[in-house]
Amino acid sequence: MITAGIDCGAKNVKVVILEDGKVTGKAMAPAGIDAASAAEKAFDDALKMAGCGREAVTKVVSTGTGKSEPKFKNDIVTEVGADARGIHYLYPNVRTVIDVGAEEGRAIRVDEKGKVVDFAINEKCAAGAGAFTEAMARALEIPLEDFGPFSLTSNQEVPMNAQCAVFAESEVVSLVHRKIPKQDIARAIHNAIADRITSMVRMVGVTPDVALVGGVAKNVGFVASLKEDLQMEITIPEDREFVGAIGAAFVAADAK
Amino acid sequence: MAEEQKKTEYWRWTESRWTNPDIDWKQGGIVSAGVDVGSVSTQAVIMVDGQLYCSSSMRTGSDSPESANSAMKWALEGTGLTTDKIQATVGTGYGRVNVPFATKAITEIACHARGGNFIYGPQVRTILDMGGQDCKAIRCDEKGKVTAFLMNDKCAAGTGRGMEVFADLLGVHINDVGKMSLQVDTEPPPVSSTCVVFAKSEASGLLRQGWPKEKVLAAYCSAMAHRVVTLLERIGVEKEFAITGGIAKNIGIVNRLSKELNVTPLKSDLDPQIAGAIGGALFAKVLFEKKGK
């Protein structure tokens, strides 16, 4: 049986094609202003990789902020449910999933069957989401993809007082004026977002194994700060951005 | 050169200074000063025997002591009064410890309550101070003494800073946003995002859908008013009610706020932005009198 999972995020749409419990195709497209057509495109790309047509797909389940957007979906699942199902397939030993996306952060505690025990979400404040690092990288005039590696070259800790992304931007500017090396500021920024995420994770409890998923998991600077905060190893799936979509595809398969 | 032309600074509000023509400092009396160094604006107020003599309100620069000095210098301009004749000065606001010539630093909460009491009279029980980077709900007694307060200084939503972001996004001068936000036939639903960063993206989406600037501003002003109302409701609004700080001048916020609270804020001819500095100058007078005893 072939199913599909779509994760319609604030920034990117991710699609996964699942055939008999194995991922056979995946694709990603920027959500832009029209998430529905981005979903169509990512779906076609993923099908191409899997080598099958739309008619072969039994069921399509959608998740993410824009989960109601894709026209070809049959059902929807919550982001929390999708993450939990996805991580259970990838790493069944994981008990705590941390998902940091462009505009949301989530911490989910799952049991050995992949069932959700508890969760916490921040969707109100940019300070605990990718939007924060993006705004700060822009303020420092460093390309986002270089931002993480660049912060790892820092060798001194600089405190940041502001929590709010808007206030932090002013603080970054004043740190630059004070001639603080940019890599130290970059590290302070990653420490700040890691602190926000950590306090959210503590609300559900930090039970090992801990996995980090979502787009911000690509940022090595953030990962380093988070490890320091949590004082433990963190599992990061290779398909860190596709965990929600994988989960949605499994939810589709589970329902038959 | 066209390339070098600076981007219009929509957030740049109008600076001002004022002298009371009815007072002559040479007649003697206690000359006291209050300097309120905020995150965005700095005010200096000079009082003679507890009467408002002159004031200035200007932008805070990158250096707090320097901002305090220039606000003081501007307030004194043309009065013939010099700093050495000021008998006591209180520094307040975010940069209060950095007022070089201050006798003492006092929190802006205490100063706004005291200043609000002076501006709006002893019947004021609740003061909302909406500043550039924070927002405070203060309860006080008939002497302007603080009895309780709540403050948000962690999040830009509900502060002047959030409004600046919107002024910049829409290309509308900060002095005009309030008035412009009232130029709608029907009130649109408020912007749903709390966070200014997300609200900004939401507003961009609304503009793309073809919303006029007035409507977007109306949606943001009502979201902001609602945010402030939740802070006020946590502490309770007892009449009379007054608003101080820069946003007291934003009629779009003030109108929506009063409507949601069902309370009309007191009015005054004095600049609501100098309330903190007035409170500082009144405290300075008391400090000087105590020292003399």
What integer pLDDT is reported at residue B27 of this predicted model? 86
Identify whether B50 is part of a domain: yes
Question: Does residue B11 belong to any structural domain of this protein?
Answer: no
What Cα–Cα distance (Å) separates residue A175 from each residue in A180, A185, B102, B179? 6, 7, 27, 36
ipTM of the complex: 0.86
Query: Does one domain contain both B32 and B150?
Result: no
**Measured between CB atoms, which of B62, B197, B205 is closest to A165?**
B197
Distance from CA of B153 to the nearest CA of A (A): 9
Same domain for B152 and B214, yes or no, is yes
Q: Quick check: A139 contacting B, CB < 8 Å?
A: no
The Cβ of residue A205 has, within 10 Å, a number of other Cβ atoms equal to: 12
CA dist., res. B272 & res. A159, Å (int): 34
For residues B47 and B102, state if they share a domain.
Answer: yes
Q: In this structure, which amino acid lies at residue B226? A: H
What is the β-pairing status of strands B146-152 and B88-92?
A: unpaired
The shortest C-alpha distance from B198 to chain A (Å) reads 7
Are B282 and B252 part of one and the same domain? no
User: Is residue B83 a part of any domain in this protein?
Assistant: yes
Task: Let me know whether B161 and B196 are in one domain.
Answer: yes
Task: Pick the residue of B193, B195, B209 with the most A CBs within 10 A to test the interface with A by mutation.
Answer: B195
- Separation CA A156–CA A172 (nearest Å): 16
CB neighbour burial string for A218-228, b if at least 16 within 10 angstroms, e if fewer: ebbbbbbbbee
Based on the domain organization, do B205 and B129 belong to the same domain? yes
Distance from the Cα of A176 to chain B's closest Cα (Å) equals 12
| CATH number for B277 | 3.30.420.40
Q: Which residues of B touch A (CB under 8 A)?
A: 62, 133, 154-156, 161-162, 165, 193-198, 205, 208
Q: Do B135 and B223 have their domain in common?
A: yes
Same domain? B180 vs B236: yes
Q: What is the pLDDT of residue B1?
A: 37
A192 touches chain B (CB under 8 A): no
Q: Which of residues 27-56 of A touch B (CB under 8 A)?
A: 33
Along the 256 residues of chain A, how does pLDDT read in single tens digits? 999 999 999 999 999 999 999 999 999 999 988 899 999 999 999 999 999 999 999 999 999 999 999 999 999 999 999 999 999 999 999 999 999 999 999 999 999 998 999 999 999 999 999 999 999 999 999 999 999 999 999 999 999 989 999 999 989 998 998 899 999 999 999 999 999 999 999 999 999 999 999 999 999 999 999 999 999 999 999 999 999 999 999 999 998 6
How confident is the model at residue B7, as a pLDDT? 63
Sign of the Cα torsion B206, B209, B211, B213 reads positive
User: CB of A113 within 8 Å of any CB in chain B?
Assistant: no
Whether A171 has its CB under 8 Å from any CB of chain B: the answer is no
Instruction: Establish if B31 belongs to a structural domain.
Output: yes
C-alpha A243 chain-centroid distance? 8
Q: How far is CA A60 from CA A8, B6, B62, in A?
A: 13, 51, 55
Question: pTM higher than 0.90, yes or no?
Answer: no
Q: Which of A101, A172, A97 is nearest to A140 (CA)?
A: A172
Number of folded domains that form chain B: 2
CATH of domain A1-91+241-256: 3.30.420.40
Question: Which residue ranges of chain B lie beneath pLDDT 50?
Answer: 1-5
Is it true that domain A93-236 has CATH number 3.30.930.10?
A: no
Alpha-carbon distance A105 to A131, whole Å? 11
Regarding whether B131 and B97 lie in a shared domain, the answer is no
Q: What is the pLDDT of residue A153?
A: 96
Q: Is residue B111 part of a domain?
A: yes
Segments forming the whole domain that contains residue B201: 123-265
